[in-house]
Structure 1
């Protein structure tokens, strides 16, 4: 849907619905169930790139995000609106501390310096019939196994298109839709959809699937996704929680992806092939991957002990949406001028989606462990902390003539949310990550993130 048409439709709907609210004898769900909130996020980001010529990126930004979510009008078909507006201000970075290209934290001006400020907004119309909802527009934030919008920087990644969610059958949630463009976490402009390393794009990402809750302890998942001219992907998931007694449980979480090439990607068309995550590919530039990931969690009181293992097949790396190299019309991204914003950065539904690294290269086998603690158990509600370690081995790399390499990462974090008083809900997040690789063309990095969040609810 064109932005102008969507804006006009929203304006007409708001005028009509306010008129109805004034005249109606009973309250309208559209206004009665509306939610309006303002989120303030102050974000300090430091990334020390240890590669030759790398820089120590240090930037601080402030963003204000206004979210409006209406209820639905009464009647057989309920109608509503979701809208979001964001304003961001670059506070500090210092000379030489803002990467001008490939920056997924904050957009750059034409001279590769950080933009002083930015603003963006989007909205969508929603409809509800019984227990089925349809959302159409540009303020979509899917959180599905085959598509996860990320909110790991100053602004959330959002998509435009249409999504259907149905809960007509007890214990079964069905999702389907088509996404066409994305606005990245360091961008104000939307782009067509692609994968990392490609220079062409697609505006058709179709998906369908569902979550079935067999009982209170067992959930099964299946999803299918297709990024036209790039890849097809099947996902299977299982989550089982085994109660072990008072304040104890054992959780099994299994995830399986099978991805193959589609359309122009399988015909070696220029721009539709890609670097397959820098690893070896049986058919260069084509999608050919099986990835399975497992995690086992033992919870005892406030402690959680996590152990996991992940395996990526030899024929090519794991694939997910990432459109950092293309513009809205699918052309290669310019590194200056109006196209200097980087729409890269993505999230994916694997346990190795870490602070710095991804651990999704061809042939890679990763073992990981994590310990988390909830300090509510010792009288400090709102405080939690974690440490983890990941190590990936047997990574295939065509530049090493068949020799495999490895990588590892060590992370730690702490979160605290004030529970009462004038600052109730004010949150502080600290993350640190240290990543090292023995491979070629992969930079060792150390990251620090300090984030202050506060959300004020007007409605």
Structure 2
């Protein structure tokens, strides 16, 4: 039996075992299962590293099989359910001299593994408009974003509660203790970029309050034990301008301070520290980052402009897996508009201007086709190697999803990015992604 079939069978068996004891009409009739297919080609060229000790190129090609089962809920005032996520990655092409650096495929010591897999189960409970989930999670919150930028998604382990019982107010809270990288089968503890000691306790809570139909106010607080405490304030507003026009305003502010071991010299010396530049070169987290983003929409056109400022105490910090393992625990997302293909523009002191143009070709009668281009320029970067450094990035994207016929739902994505920096290696990156989702029931 193939590994894809084995993984699918394991996922289905786990679901059926639960059904045998908790089955009900709603549990079954509201359930759905899909098999997602993703074919990913990744090429990253570090041209300025050629001839040095660093690797000059990363090039890999792989295929993903992603089985997702979402159950309904049992009958009664309190409903119970179970979701399952089965993931399998298969390496199609990767050599030892081309593998390191993609964080897409796990490493076996000599190069890329032939295949890797994982199974995640999530129990859930619903009461009125409140839902609690325990097990495998993929949060999409200002204080934590699950990364899905390679072949398989990053997942977390823990518990999370979301409530919509109060009109126009969404309350969220939870606790996480482990993560599995997008390029790994192994769970690890939690850290920040540059941290070498694991924390197993990330707690968070937040609220999204909708005022009228066009304004949302956000507040979130989070604590990664022995690393940081973070507060987030956000404002989202859409101003209708008539005739298919609107202006969207997105304001974000993060205040991140040292907590626990990171707040002491002895704790930082044990590995509870952040990488990159910090005041006194001590690895202490102290950062305030704000950004203002404005998007003008007219028909199929979307023009975005904005500015972001990172304070100079340390780099911007959010949870990832640091350097606590060598088993593929790399790759994370942060809730900044500047978190792009090749860089995040979140270094200490960095000031970034950015602009993006996007077009949806449905306005011209070609639904499913869209394109975008973004340019970012950062300066005033503080690093351990120098001050007032600069960098820029230019990315282009083209996406098309077939709308009808035999191949309806088949998606093609093309990505190309160029990054030049005085603080890091210059890079040219290309990605080609084919995706398809098959409904099983």
Measured against the shorter chain, the TM-score band is over 0.9
- Counterpart for residue 309 of structure 1: 307
The answer to whether structure 1 residue 395 and structure 2 residue 381 are counterparts is: yes
**Equivalents in 2 of 1:75, 1:230: separation in Å?**
42
Alpha-carbon spacing, 1:58–1:283, altered in 2? closer, same or farther (3 Å): closer
Deviations 1:238-289, CA, capped at 9 Å, x for gaps: 000000011000010000000000010011213344344x234356211100
* 8 A Cα contact 1:282 1:316, kept in partner: no
Q: CA deviation at 1:71?
A: 0.7
- Deviation digits for residues 281-321 of structure 1 (CA, Å, limit 9, x no counterpart): 35621110000011100111100110010000011110011
For residues 46-67 of structure 1, give each alpha carbon's deviation from its aligned partner in whole angstroms, at most 9, with x where no partner exists. 0111323322111100010100
Residue 45 (1) aligns with residue 64 (2): no
SS at match of 1:96: helix
Cα contact 1:55–1:96 (8 A) shared by 2: no
* Counterpart for residue 68 of structure 1: 69
Q: 1:103 Cα deviation (Å)?
A: 4.4
In structure 2, relative to structure 1, the CA distance for the partners of 1:432 and 1:91 (3 Å cut) is same
If the length of structure 1 is used for normalisation, what is the TM-score?
0.90
Alignment of 1:18-37 (within 5 A): 18=23, 21=24, 28-37=25-34
User: Does 1:351 pair with 2:351?
Assistant: no
| Further displaced range: 54-63 or 154-163 | 54-63
Q: Which runs of 5+ in 1 are unaligned?
A: 1-6, 22-27, 327-332, 334-339
SS in 2 for 1:376: helix
Cα gap change, 1:363 to 1:71, in 2 (>3 Å): same
Contact kept, 8 Å, 1:282 with 1:315, in 2: the verdict is: no
Give the CA RMSD over aligned residues: 1.7
Give the conservation status (yes or no) of the 8 Å contact 1:10–1:125.
no
Match of 2:18 in 1: 13
Q: Deviations over 1:383-428 (max 9, x none)?
A: 000011000000012322xx31000001000000001112111101
- How far does residue 231 in structure 1 lie from its aligned partner after superposition? 0.1
CA displacement at 1:223 relative to structure 2: 0.2
Query: Does the alignment pair 1:430 with 2:428?
Result: no
Aligned CA distance change for structure 1 residues 77 and 449 (closer, same or farther; 3 Å): same
How far 1:95 sits from its partner (Å)? 5.3
Q: What's the secondary structure of 1:97's corresponding residue?
A: helix
Partner of 1:55: 56
Distance 1:183 1:204 in 2: 15
Q: Which of 159, 168, 171 is the matching residue for 2:168? A: 171
Matched, 1:257 2:243: no
Post-superposition Cα deviations, 1:158-204, rounded to whole Å, max 9, x if no partner, equal 11100000000011000000001000000000100111111101110
Counterpart Cα distance in 2 of 1:264 and 1:8: 43
- Counterpart check, 1:443 vs 2:425: yes
Determine which of 407, 415, 421 is the counterpart of 2:391: 407
The alignment partner of 1:15 has SS state of helix
- Distance (Å, rounded) in 2 between the aligned partners of 1:282 and 1:214: 44
Residue 79 of structure 1, CA deviation: 0.2
Q: How much has 1:438 moved relative to structure 2?
A: 1.4
Matched, 1:243 2:240: yes
Q: Provide the rounded CA distance (Å) in 2 between the counterparts of 1:285 and 1:89.
A: 38
TM-score, normalisation: structure 2: 0.93
Task: Indicate yes or no: 2:126 matched with 1:144.
Answer: no
